[in-house]
């Protein structure tokens, strides 16, 4: 029997005897304990791998992310490791010690692993994918000192790529908030543009910060090269952020790709249906939501969305029949809408402005989001931070509104960074906003919340000089725009002497409604 034939036989036993699709992890564990046939060791290894994958996969942190299913998988993993501990390889021993909190034995086990790798004598060195599968996926935000010690160990064996990523994760897990983490990852990605993991993490963090175009740019950059997150997750995340910027065609493509890769992916089918709904493809959406209900999936959202689709399609009788024949609790807003409609089905041509007032909660990530609305209090004459000013300008630019008397859009090129918080000069700088006009001339927007920035001109001039030398296309121009409150005469004089840079003063006005 060839190795390939042996592996096929093992997988067949695993899928049919140990872990059929309808079995829970606990049932599979009992089956494995009682199994006395061939390949007991190999089957145990397959099961421990599945358990570890369930517990470790997907997220870049353990804390507050694990469900009861995840923790059950971890518990069973440790039980099997205890039974077969003497047969475990060095990595599984290290993971087992880590999960049990026996941290002193973790690094020595990994050093034994490196010794074994060196023993092969083939010059193999762990690459980024190896780093993720061996360390980042299993240890994530490990105990204090783990990543530093692993970096030192990697350096000892000349595993430079491993060491660089260890140092990155050591700093990453020390970040106080998403903003610091984004700055760190952007700097690293500028210095090491070939790494994939920083862009995966950036895409995730940008989505959390509601910087959706930045998130899209990062996920698109590594769409077919992802390492940390599974491909179906990347496609689902892309669908979600495309939906947030109302690019429904790309949203639909991403959800369809997610379902192609993973037909049972949570909420992907419902989200696809809702994407069709937003495109006013009501009949197509209805079929998707009916499929959700028939397959008993995404039931937190699909019944609501089916009824709202019936309403938009003019199928009022069908909507009432569905509600009457099923026990799903439909939201009060939808019921109130339906009560105002005729009893019988009507033929309807959707209007261009056809909208409803039902808040969309398409998936659990959106459900968990906390909306923080900027508040401006009376007698405030300036923005509270550059971030708020940046948010306001970004909103205008992304919605296509002219700013500064110009028709600009935020810079966006395939394979490059998005123009909001744009990194350049090998991570030395991050621009507030990098924009383009229709002729591909570049505009660097430097935002300050007040007048207390004497270096605003020098800083902007430095950016413009660098872009003229390193970034702008031949025949195109680079301009700087400084935006602040109450500019000083000295700054005004400097800007007037440089025809590449313009200065704008913002104001916040309040008008009482009487």
pLDDT digits 0-9 by tens, 326-340: 989 888 889 998 999
Element at 502 (helix H, strand E):
strand 501-505
In the structure encoding, which two tokens stand for residue 175, read together? 């970040």
How confident is the model over 422-451, as pLDDT tens digits? 998 887 888 999 999 999 999 999 988 665
Q: Where are the alpha helices (DSSP H) in 326-422?
A: 332-339, 364-368, 386-398
Instruction: Name the more confident of 8 and 69.
Output: 8
Q: What is the mean pLDDT of residues 313-319?
A: 94
Q: Region 174-200: what's the mean pLDDT?
A: 91
Does the 386-505 domain belong in CATH 3.30.365.10? no
Q: What angle do CA 485, 390, 461 make, to 5 degrees?
A: 70
pLDDT in tens, 460-503: 999 999 999 988 888 899 999 998 877 888 888 899 999 999 99
Q: What is the pLDDT of residue 289?
A: 96
pLDDT-above-90 percentage for the chain = 46
Pick the most confident of 75-84, 128-137, 376-385.
128-137
The CATH classification number of 266-368 equals 1.25.40
- What is the per-residue pLDDT for 85? 81
Question: Hey, do 266-368 and 386-505 end up sharing a CATH topology, with the first three levels equal?
Answer: no
Measure Cα distances from 108 to 80, 111, 119, 140 in Å: 22, 5, 16, 18
Flag whether the pTM goes above 0.85: no
Buried b / exposed e over 22-31, threshold 16 CB at 10 Å, is eeebeebbeb
- pLDDT for residue 379: 28
Q: Which residues contact 106 (CB under 8 A, 6 or more apart)?
A: 94, 97, 98, 142, 146
* Crossing angle of helices 489-496 and 456-470, rounded to 10°: 30
The whole-number pLDDT of residue 310 equals 94
The answer to which of 158-172, 336-350, 377-391 has the lowest mean pLDDT is 377-391
- Who has greater pLDDT, 371 or 133? 133
d(CA 514, CA 503): 35
Q: How far apart are CA 240 and CA 254, in angstroms?
A: 9
pLDDT value of position 386: 64
> Domain extents for the chain?
3-184, 266-368, 386-505
Could you give the count of Cα atoms lying within 13 Å of 390 in the half-sphere of its Cβ? 20
pLDDT for 99-124, tens place per residue? 999 999 999 999 999 998 888 766 67
For the record, the structure tokens of 234 come out as 């990347």
CA distance from start to end of the chain: 89
- Listed in sequence order, the residues at least 6 apart from 156 whose beta carbon sits closer than 8 Å to its beta carbon are none
pLDDT score, position 352: 41
């Amino acid at each position: 029997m060839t190795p390939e034939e042996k592996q096929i036989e093992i997988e067949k036993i695993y899928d049919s005897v140990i872990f059929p699709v309808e079995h829970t992890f606990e049932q599979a564990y009992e089956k494995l304990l009682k199994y006395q046939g061939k390949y007991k060791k190999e089957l145990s290894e397959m099961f421990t791998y599945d358990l570890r994958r369930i517990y470790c996969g997907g997220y870049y942190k353990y804390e507050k992310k694990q469900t009861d299913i995840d923790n059950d998988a971890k518990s069973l993993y440790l039980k099997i490791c205890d039974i077969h501990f003497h047969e475990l390889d060095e990595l599984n021993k290290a993971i087992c010690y880590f999960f049990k909190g026996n941290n002193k034995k973790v690094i020595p086990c990994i050093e034994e692993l490196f010794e074994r790798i060196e023993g092969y004598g083939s010059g193999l060195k762990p690459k980024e994918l190896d780093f993720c599968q061996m360390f980042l996926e299993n240890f994530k935000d490990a105990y204090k000192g783990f990543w530093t010690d692993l970096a030192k160990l990697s350096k000892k064996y000349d595993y430079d790529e491993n060491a660089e990523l260890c140092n990155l994760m050591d700093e990453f897990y020390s970040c106080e908030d998403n903003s610091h983490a984004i700055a760190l990852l952007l700097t690293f990605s500028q210095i090491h543009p070939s790494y994939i993991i920083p862009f995966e993490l950036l895409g995730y963090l940008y989505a959390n910060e509601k910087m959706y175009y930045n998130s899209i740019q990062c996920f698109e950059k590594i769409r077919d090269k992802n390492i940390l997150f599974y491909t179906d997750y990347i496609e689902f995340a892309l669908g979600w952020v495309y939906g947030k910027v109302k690019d429904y065609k790309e949203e639909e493509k991403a959800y369809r790709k997610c379902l192609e890769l993973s037909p049972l992916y949570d909420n992907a089918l419902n989200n696809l249906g809702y994407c069709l709904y937003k495109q006013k493809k009501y009949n197509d959406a209805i079929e998707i939501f009916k499929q959700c209900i028939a397959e008993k999936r995404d039931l937190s959202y699909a019944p609501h969305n089916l009824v709202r689709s019936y309403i938009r399609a003019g199928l009022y009788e069908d909507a009432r029949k569905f509600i009457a024949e099923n026990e799903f609790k439909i939201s009060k807003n939808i019921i109130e809408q339906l009560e105002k409609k005729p009893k019988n089905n009507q033929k309807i041509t959707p209007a261009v402005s056809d909208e409803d007032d039902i808040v969309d909660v398409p998936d659990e990530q959106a459900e968990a989001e906390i909306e923080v609305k900027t508040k401006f209090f009376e007698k405030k004459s300036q923005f509270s931070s550059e971030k708020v000013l940046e948010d306001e300008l970004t909103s205008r630019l992304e919605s296509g509104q002219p700013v500064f008397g110009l028709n600009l859009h935020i810079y966006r090129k395939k394979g490059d960074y998005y123009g909001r918080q744009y990194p350049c000069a090998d991570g030395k700088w991050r621009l507030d906003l990098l924009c383009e006009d229709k002729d591909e001339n570049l505009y660097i927007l430097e935002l300050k919340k007040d007048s207390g920035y004497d270096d605003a001109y020098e800083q902007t001039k430095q950016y413009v000089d660098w872009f003229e030398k390193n970034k702008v296309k031949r025949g195109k121009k680079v301009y700087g725009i400084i935006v602040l409150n109450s500019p000083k005469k000295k700054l005004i004089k400097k800007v007037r002497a440089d025809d590449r840079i313009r200065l704008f003063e913002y104001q916040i006005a309040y008008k009482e409604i009487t």
